Structure 1
Amino acid sequence: MKHIKHCSVIAALAAAALTFAGVAPAALAANDGATQDAVVATRSFPKTNAVKKNILAEASSTQVESDSDWGGVESLNVPQTKSQAEKDAEAAAAAAEQQRQQQAQAQAQAQAASRSAARSDLSSSGSFTVTPPDGASVSSLLTFANQFVGKVPYVSGGNTPSGWDCSGFVQYVYGQMGVSLPHYSGAQATVGRAVGSLADAQPGDIIANAQHAAIYVGNGMVINSQLNGTRYDPIAWVFPSSYSIRRIF
């Protein structure tokens, strides 16, 4: 009986082994199908093999798709900031330009006022209106002075077209050209630059000594104020003694 029981046990074990062997391939086949499905799913999301070595480093460039929509932020006009030194330099330049404009305006106003005053100065007879000089050249000075010839009387101590003396005439003419001169012939003999001789004299130079003052017009002639009025005279007639030649322009 014991032998029969042993045989039965062996047979049962053999049957069980055969059963397990049949189930295992089926299970493996089923598992193999599941594994294939998992591989397909994994391949739909490729793995990244490149490793970023320094994840804290700042990116140096960025690629953006052409059809990306950032809500208009890419078109914002961001103001550029300036350093304090740049701001100071701009402020200094603006202040200098403003000062230059103010000076130019003040000069223009002064010239306009001078011309206006010249126009209002009349001779004692009231027969003419003074025309101011049209520039700062010697030619303008001589043309300006010429309009008084035969029109303005001699007045001791005077220095306007209503009447003047010799130095007052020279002072007035040069004053309308923007040059301030003293009202005394001896002082006028020291202004400007000295000219060595009459041969070197030029029209517009002042010729003066302690007794008389005049404006040289060339060819040995001067324009001056005498007792008989404003006129042209030869230098030899009005300066019988020594004199000084002074150049302003």
Structure 2
Amino acid sequence: MMNAKYIASTLVTIAAAAAMFACVTPTVNAADMGTAVVSSRSFPKVTTVKKNILAESTATSTDDNSSWGDVESLDVPQTQSQAEKDAAARKAAEEQAAAQAQASQTQAASRSAQRAAIPQVDLGSATGSGADVARFASQFSGYPYVYGGNTPSGWDCSGFVQYVYAQFGISLPHSSGAQAGVGTAVGSLAQAQPGDIVANGTHAAIYIGNGLVMNALSPGLGTQVTSTSVFSGGYSIRRVL
């Protein structure tokens, strides 16, 4: 029993002494070592600044040859006030009216020139209702051609003949082919009289004498006097008065 207590006491003493020695840090002097004590870093020194990868990338350098201009060179859209818009509208309306007036004067001058240039037929001594038709038809030189029309504001060839005869109480079809079959046939141009209708399947006109007819030709030529050579192929001469 005493041996066991002695052994246990000895072990406790040894353990306490070991713990005491383990907690003591030996002090080393430079003089004792005979050399200088040198410390060194475990990691190399960082000399560069890490970039903030979350920051927005920007650049402040520009090309020296670049021309960026200035405020004065900016093309800024200009807006108009209501007064300026009204003034511009009035000016446009005035210019349009002036252009229309000039066009009307030009058309009037053109009609006068056409009347002066057309062959003249003396209907003054002509008598009879046919002569009256021819005389009436002759006043429309220079009037416009409009396909399908039958009034002075615009007519085609058969529409012109239809309109003229309507003023004398004669109703005619609006077709050159149909007009080529109305009234009484005339045997030849030598027998034709002013007021007769000259027509075929493609054209119609009113004979005014001397081998000439009054007819609506085309949008470009309008209504004018021509010879009967305007007809392509044959034609018929019809007398309705």
What is the TM-score of this pair, normalised by structure 1?
0.44
What is the TM-score of this pair, normalised by structure 2?
0.46
Give the number of the structure whose residues are more often helix, by fraction: 1
Highest RCO, 1 vs 2 (Cα 8 Å, sep ≥ 6): 2
